[in-house]
């Protein structure tokens, strides 16, 4: 039997979207309460009708036992309850998947534009979400940073062509200020283990 090994970099934080999950949960609770109240009312009405029908047939020989009739009605009503619950859960699942896919579709479009170094503002985004807002904010910061890098490189090339050593050094210092620092920007080289 094959044993499944967890990936080394498996996600440990499970992210949730409280705004949609909260309303799905509220909707599910309201639906369950409404279904339970409806089931209780239907059971009362149907079972009362069964009891009422059998109340005056006590001495008739061809009648079905009341317990069988009560069980039949109860099973039918519980079946309807389970069916409506299943449909509600499938509908909720469909809505959730549709919502998540719409956000991921917009995110993928933004990432494709970023990969192509297209940092133009995307005005076609209709749905707003925190992930999309953060992505747009990061793209805006990248656009500003890359514009500054391009301007500093233009200054550096101009200083080199002019042959001005002080201007070249000043352009290099300015370029060093706009290039991100830190491990993510410039990963340290690992030393070979001897």
Predicted confidence (pLDDT) per residue in 14-58, tens digit: 566 676 677 778 888 898 899 889 889 988 998 888 888 877 766
Give domain status of residue 190, yes or no: no
Give the number of other CB atoms < 10 A from CB of residue 2.
4
Position with higher pLDDT, 104 vs 124: 104
pTM above 0.85, yes or no: no
Give domain status of residue 103, yes or no: yes
pLDDT tens digits along 89-115:
898 889 888 888 888 888 888 888 888
Are residues 106 and 133 both part of a single domain? no
Are residues 70 and 143 both part of a single domain? no
Are residues 91 and 32 both part of a single domain? yes
Are residues 108 and 135 both part of a single domain? no
How many residues belong to the chain?
194
Q: How many domains does the chain have?
A: 2
**Enclosing domain of residue 144:** 119-180
Closest-CA residue to 142 (of 120, 124, 175, 170):
120
Q: Is 171 exposed, middle or buried (0-12, 13-18, 19+ CB in 10 A)?
A: buried
**Distance (Å) of CA 87 to CA 35, 90, 91, 161:** 12, 5, 6, 72
Are residues 83 and 125 both part of a single domain? no
Give domain status of residue 6, yes or no: no
């Amino acid at each position: 039997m094959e044993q499944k090994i967890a990936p080394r970099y498996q996600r440990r934080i499970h992210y949730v979207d409280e705004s949609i999950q909260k309303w799905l949960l509220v909707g599910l609770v309201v639906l369950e309460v409404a279904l339970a109240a409806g089931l209780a009312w239907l059971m009362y009405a149907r079972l009362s009708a069964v009891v009422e029908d059998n109340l005056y047939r006590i001495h008739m020989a061809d009648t079905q036992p009341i317990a069988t009739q009560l069980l039949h009605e109860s099973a039918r009503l519980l079946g309807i309850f389970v069916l409506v619950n299943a449909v509600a859960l499938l509908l909720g699942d469909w809505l959730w998947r549709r919502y998540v896919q719409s956000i991921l579709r917009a995110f993928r479009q933004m990432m494709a534009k970023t990969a192509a170094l297209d940092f133009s503002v995307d005005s076609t985004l209709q749905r707003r979400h925190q992930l999309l807002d953060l992505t747009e904010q990061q793209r805006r910061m990248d656009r500003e940073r890359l514009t500054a890098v391009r301007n500093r490189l233009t200054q550096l090339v101009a200083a080199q062509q002019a042959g001005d050593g002080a201007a070249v050094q000043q352009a290099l210092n300015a370029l060093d200020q706009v290039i991100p620092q830190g491990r993510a920007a410039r990963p340290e080289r690992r030393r070979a283990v001897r």
